A = this chain, B = another copy of it.
Amino acid sequence: MLGSETNSNDILAGLNQSLLRNLNYKFRLYGPEKLIKKKIEKYGALLKASEIIDCESYISMDDKPSDILKKKENSSMFLAIRSVSEHLSDAVLSFGNTGALMSLSLLNIKTLKGIKRPAIASIWPNIAGESIVLDLGANTKLDTRYLLDNSILGSSLASILFKIDNPSIGLLNVGVEDNKGNDEIRSASDSLKELSKIHNINYHGYVEGNDISIGKTNVVVTDGFTGNVALKTAEGTAKLFQSHLNDAFRSSILSKIGYFLSSLAMKSVKDRLDPRVHNCGIMVGLNSLAVKCHGQSEHRGVSYAADIIYSLLENNVNKRIQHYVHEIQSKLQD
C-alpha cells in the first residue's frame, strides 16, 4: 500500500529488501498504477511478488475522520483495509494518516474476540536492547480492562519479536510502591498479579518513565494518553540532545575536527535512535494486523516494518493472543 508522504522509491526498495529475506511474501500495492509500474521495474523480485491496484485518490494528513468515511471510499488506504477485511490480504502497512488508519481499521477489520479495544505498540530502543511499549495513542481513556488487554497484546508481540518465552511486563506508574498511581492502575496491577500465576503472564510490577530506556522489562504497558505523551517527549528530548550536540561541535575549531573524526560514530547513534528507521506503530488487537510507519520513512524503515509484519504473521500472532485471552477468561471464571 502506498501512502502519499513517503517517497515511493523508498517504499519499493524497502519492500524488496524485506522480500529477499522473507521469500514467501506477496504484496498488493495500492496507488497510482502508472507511477508504481515505472518505478518497480528495477526490483525484479518485488515485481513478480506484487499485484498493483490502481487508485489515484488518497487520504491526506489533513483529512478529518468524518470526511474520510463519506468521501474517500476509493482511496488507497480505504481499499487496502477492505482487502484485509475481505481476507484478500493478511495485514496492511501504511505511511499515511494514523487517525484515519486507526478508525478505518477498527470499523472494517474489527477487534479480536475478547479484546475490547486495539492498541498501538512500538518497539522502543533501550540500553539493554529493545522493548515493546503500548498503548501509544489508540485509546486515551484510562481503563483497567484496557491495561489488561494491552498486557496480553504486548506480551504476545514481545514473545514473537524478541523470541523469548515469558516476556516480563511492567505497568507504567509514577513510582514502584504499591500505593502509587490511581485506582485504575492499582486495580490492573492486582489483576496482573493474579494472572501471573498463569504460566505465560510474567508480571514484573510497576515501572517508571526512566525504566523504559533502561529496559527493565520486555513490555511496558500504559494508557494511550500517557504513552503518546511519553513517546513524543522522548522524541523531543532526542532532538534536543542532537541540537545541543551540533551546536557544541560547531563551537570551536578543535571540536569541528573532533566532529569530523567521530562522525561515523555519531552516525551510528543517529541511526540507532532515528525515528525514520525505527518508528513504526503496530496496531494490535484487531482481527488482522495494521502497521503505521513514520511519514518520512527511509527504505530501511520500510524493510524493518515489513520484516516485523512477516514475523508476526508467520508466528500466528493473533492465534497466540486468542490463546492468552482464553486462558485469562477461564482463569477469571474460576
Using a CB–CB cutoff of 8 Å, the interface residues on chain A facing chain B are 125-127, 137, 140-142, 172, 174, 180-182, 208-214, 222, 224-226, 228-241, 243-245, 248-249, 251-252, 254-255, 257-266, 268-269, 272-273
Contacts and interface: CB of A to CB of B under 8 A. Distances in A.
A174 B257 contact: no
B232 A248 contact: no
Contacts of A210: 232-233, 235-236, 239
Nearest to A174: B228
A211 B236 contact: yes
- Residue from A182, A234, A238, A266 having most chain B Cβ neighbours under 10 A: A234
Given A233-B212, A236-B212, A238-B237, A258 B262 contact: yes
Given A209-B229, A209-B236, A268 B241 contact: no
Contact of A244 (B222, B243, B269): B269
What is the total number of copies of this protein in its complex? Answer: 2
A225 B273 contact: no
Contacts of A261: 254-255, 257-258, 261
A257 B263 CA distance: 11
A228 B241 contact: no
B229 A214 contact: no
Contacts of A257: 258, 261-262
Contact of A225 (B182, B235, B263): B182
A230 B230 contact: yes
6 contacts: A226-B229, A233-B237, A234-B236, A244-B272, A248-B265, A249-B262
A254 to B, nearest CB: 5
A229 B257 CA distance: 38
A168 to B, nearest CB: 17
Nearest to A225: B174
